[in-house]
Amino acid sequence: MDRRKFMAGCLGLPLPSQVGGAKAQAGLSKVIFPFAAGAGGDTLCRLIAQEMAPVLQRTIVVENRTGGDGLIGIKAVKGASPDGSMVLVTTGPTMYLLPMVETAPSFDTAKDFMPVSLLARFEFAVVIGPGIDASDFKGFVAWLKAHPDKTSFGVPSNGTIPHFMGSKLEKDLGIPLTRVPYRGSAPILNDIIGGHISFGITTLADALPQHRAKGVTIIAVSSPERSPFAPDVPTLKESGIDLVADAWYGMWLPAGSPPEFASKLGAAASAALAKPEVREKLTAIGLIPVGSTADGLSKELAAKHGVLAADREGDGIQDRELGSARAKHSVVMPGLVPGIHVLRQARLRVDGRVKPGHDELRELCSLTYNFARCAMPSLIDASSASSQTPIRIPPFTWSWLSA
């Protein structure tokens, strides 16, 4: 896809307008996508922005506000003026999973946002790189068992479907895995190709171009049946893993936005997704165009939230899944600001979602331990931090570090 054409198509006529009584900012709308540029969701945003601009008679630009597992972009739209100047496009899981796994939720999807439209559905894929001596899922499992020191895998962010798919794989395979959260799928694929991680769980749409170019290999998909986009790739169920998962992209406005504008925006998005040329471009990258009313998006969100709320209640997702392996500390010493800063940033990334004193997963050891060891070696119990068992940190110590 030619990105210059996308960006050129995003330029509409910047006409000042009154929208439902709220004054838009000089006819400008920003579509906020909270993940990295260059992947399927980013392409979706730019395609529909190009089509909606002339219909809405305003300039529409796509902005990638990454970080915080999607929270940076989501919170930006949450706090925006409800005047049509800022629109959120993100995955369904970020909107129904993140509030469920945070100890103090950063947003309430129902209260802080106005639904606009369900945009497109997609599937997930397990992806390996050219340096892995395996051609299928069974062979890859054997490779993992033979290389226990190379079990790092990437996910687009924490609190997403790939996050929990990784936990399911770890449980079913009986192999300790180290999850590495990224800011979207594109950097995962780059690191898989570069051999920095062994595999990734990402959207099928994002992995397909590199799979077709022989840069990576998709060894399993998460759909209930083989995907029409990759008919030669077995499903996880065929590979012996009882797991089916899919997700979708949706569009939201800040709460309090004029209903008239929300309706017009949703209609423009649905009309764009109904165009044959748009559908062709999206299906070529593994996305299934939908387009719906606001009510359709609300029903989809409610259905997913109900199922996962029950799962969380029964399985303890919040405490078990989204903890990080906090290093074990013995004493706080002066002159250790760099190390404290490293750990504070790790906490801002993930640990605000779990209560101090809980048993934590080791997942951030691979990301923070080597840095922390250099900055504050006397504080780290290396045997605990590098072990395969959960570790703990006293609540008062973590509170001190977080001050």
Say whether both 280 and 340 belong to one domain. no
Say if pTM beats, i.e. exceeds, 0.95. Answer: no
For residue range 113-148, list pLDDT tens digits in order: 999 999 999 999 999 999 999 999 999 999 999 999
Confidence of residue 2 (pLDDT cuts 50, 70, 90): low
Say whether both 42 and 66 belong to one domain. yes
Give residue 339's pLDDT.
34
Beta strands at 199-203 and 113-128: parallel, antiparallel or unpaired: antiparallel
pLDDT at 237 over 50: yes
Residue 232 inside a domain? The answer is no
CA 291 – CA 272 distance, rounded (Å): 8
Furthest CA-CA distance within the chain: 64
Secondary structure, 3-state, 214-281: CCCEEEEECCCCCCCCCCCCCECCCCCCCCCCEEEEEEEEECCCCHHHHHHHHHHHHHHHHCHHHHHH
For residue range 36-68, list pLDDT tens digits in order: 888 889 999 999 999 999 999 999 999 999 988
Q: What is the CATH number of the domain that holds 86?
A: 3.40.190.150
At residue 192, the 3 state secondary structure works out as helix
Please say whether the beta carbons of 137 and 239 come within 8 A: yes
Low-confidence winner among 119-133, 234-248, 371-385 (lowest mean pLDDT)? 371-385
Q: Shortest CA distance to 203 belongs to which of 149, 104, 123?
A: 123
Residue 227 inside a domain? The answer is no
Give residue 390's pLDDT.
31
Residue 292 inside a domain? The answer is yes
Say whether both 159 and 197 belong to one domain. yes
Give residue 138's pLDDT.
95
Look at phi and psi of residue 296 and say left if phi exceeds 0, alpha if psi is from -120 to 50, else beta: alpha
Beta strands at 178-181 and 152-155: parallel, antiparallel or unpaired: parallel
Confidence of residue 308 (pLDDT cuts 50, 70, 90): low
Q: What is the CA radius of gyration of the chain?
A: 22
Say whether both 41 and 111 belong to one domain. yes
Per DSSP, 32 falls in state E
Say whether both 107 and 18 belong to one domain. yes
Low-confidence winner among 88-97, 225-234, 338-347 (lowest mean pLDDT)? 338-347
Q: Shortest CA distance to 206 belongs to which of 128, 269, 89, 123?
A: 123
Residue 386 inside a domain? The answer is yes
Confidence of residue 248 (pLDDT cuts 50, 70, 90): very high
Confidence of residue 97 (pLDDT cuts 50, 70, 90): confident
Residue 240 inside a domain? The answer is no
Give residue 305's pLDDT.
59
Say whether both 149 and 255 belong to one domain. no
Say whether both 345 and 275 belong to one domain. no
Mean pLDDT, the chain, as a whole number?
75
What domain range is 90 assigned to?
A: 3-120+247-313
Say whether both 330 and 306 belong to one domain. no
Low-confidence winner among 180-189, 257-266, 273-282 (lowest mean pLDDT)? 180-189
Cβ neighbors of 240 (< 8 A, separation 6 or more) are 137, 138, 172
Q: What is the per-residue DSSP string for 132-191?
A: SS-SSHHHHHHHHHH-TT--EEEESSTTSHHHHHHHHHHHHHT---EEEE-SSSHHHHHH
**Number of H-type helices and E-type strands within the chain:** 18, 12
In terms of C-beta density within 10 A (0-12 exposed, 13-18 middle, 19 or more buried), how is residue 383 classed? exposed
pLDDT at 29 over 50: yes
Last residue of a domain, which of 266, 282, 313? 313
Confidence of residue 159 (pLDDT cuts 50, 70, 90): confident
Give residue 395's pLDDT.
32
CA 236 – CA 216 distance, rounded (Å): 18
Q: What is the CATH number of the domain that holds 142?
A: 3.40.190.10
CA 181 – CA 68 distance, rounded (Å): 10
Residue 132 inside a domain? The answer is yes
CA 321 – CA 315 distance, rounded (Å): 10
pLDDT at 302 over 90: no
Number of domains in the chain: 3
Say whether both 114 and 128 belong to one domain. no
pLDDT at 398 over 60: no
Last residue of a domain, which of 289, 313, 337? 313
Q: Shortest CA distance to 198 belongs to which of 244, 149, 240?
A: 149
Confidence of residue 322 (pLDDT cuts 50, 70, 90): very low
CA 32 – CA 325 distance, rounded (Å): 31
Residue 318 inside a domain? The answer is no
Say whether both 114 and 143 belong to one domain. no
Residue 228 inside a domain? The answer is no
* % of the chain residues with pLDDT over 90: 53
Say whether both 281 and 334 belong to one domain. no
* % of the chain residues with pLDDT over 70: 69
Say whether both 61 and 140 belong to one domain. no
